């Protein structure tokens, strides 16, 4: 088994993310969830809230750890002792973007590979931005995010 890194903003973590994490843990071994600190991006949830939601949502998955990342992902991957980045793909546009990212990461570090996992069909439409849109309009996010964090999300957004 190997150690891999699954990076994303997780703003918030969705059922699609959980599906990829569970499958990566089953197939690859240890999964380090990397949550970026990006001062140029406006998040709905704070870094601490995102990490708390991820911890609660992944508590049932063996071999998962969570870290914040400030800097290049390839540097974090090396420092963590991993050699593989896991990326979930829903659409062709996801592939185009992630292919570029995988290529630059490979250019920056020949020792780091990217492993692409296709989204399960039932989550192929699901994104954090879609969940945020539903939240903004007062919709029900049950089934979009893990049930165990629905109330936390409502508390964080004042709903």
Nearest to 14 by CA among 41, 50, 43, 68: 50
Q: Is 68 a catalytic residue?
A: no
Q: Which of 17, 50, 87, 119 is catalytic?
A: 17
Distance CA 85, CA 7 (A): 8
Q: Is 41 a catalytic residue?
A: yes
Q: Is 17 a catalytic residue?
A: yes
| Residue whose tokens read 């069909």 | 121
Q: Which of 41, 42, 110, 137 is catalytic?
A: 41
Q: Which of 50, 87, 119, 128 is catalytic?
A: 128
| Residue whose tokens read 């049932």 | 60
Q: Is 137 a catalytic residue?
A: no
In this structure, are residues 28 and 108 in contact, taking their beta carbons and an 8 Å threshold? no
Q: Which of 90, 109, 124, 127 is catalytic?
A: 90
Mind telling me the catalytic residues?
A: 17, 41, 90, 128
């Amino acid at each position: 088994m190997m150690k891999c890194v699954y990076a994303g903003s997780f703003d918030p973590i969705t059922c699609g993310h959980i599906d990829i994490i569970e499958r990566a843990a089953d197939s690859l071994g240890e999964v380090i969830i990397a949550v970026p600190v990006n001062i140029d991006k406006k998040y709905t949830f704070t870094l601490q809230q995102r990490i708390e939601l991820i911890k609660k949502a992944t508590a049932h998955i063996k071999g998962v750890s969570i870290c914040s990342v400030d800097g290049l992902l390839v540097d974090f991957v090396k420092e963590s002792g991993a050699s593989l980045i896991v990326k979930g793909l829903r659409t062709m546009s996801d592939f185009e973007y992630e292919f570029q990212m995988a290529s630059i990461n490979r250019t920056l570090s020949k020792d780091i590979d990217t492993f692409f996992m296709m989204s399960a069909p039932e989550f192929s439409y699901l994104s954090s931005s879609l969940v945020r849109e539903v939240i903004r309009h007062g919709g029900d996010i049950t089934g979009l995010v893990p049930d165990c964090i629905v109330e936390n999300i409502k508390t964080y957004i004042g709903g």
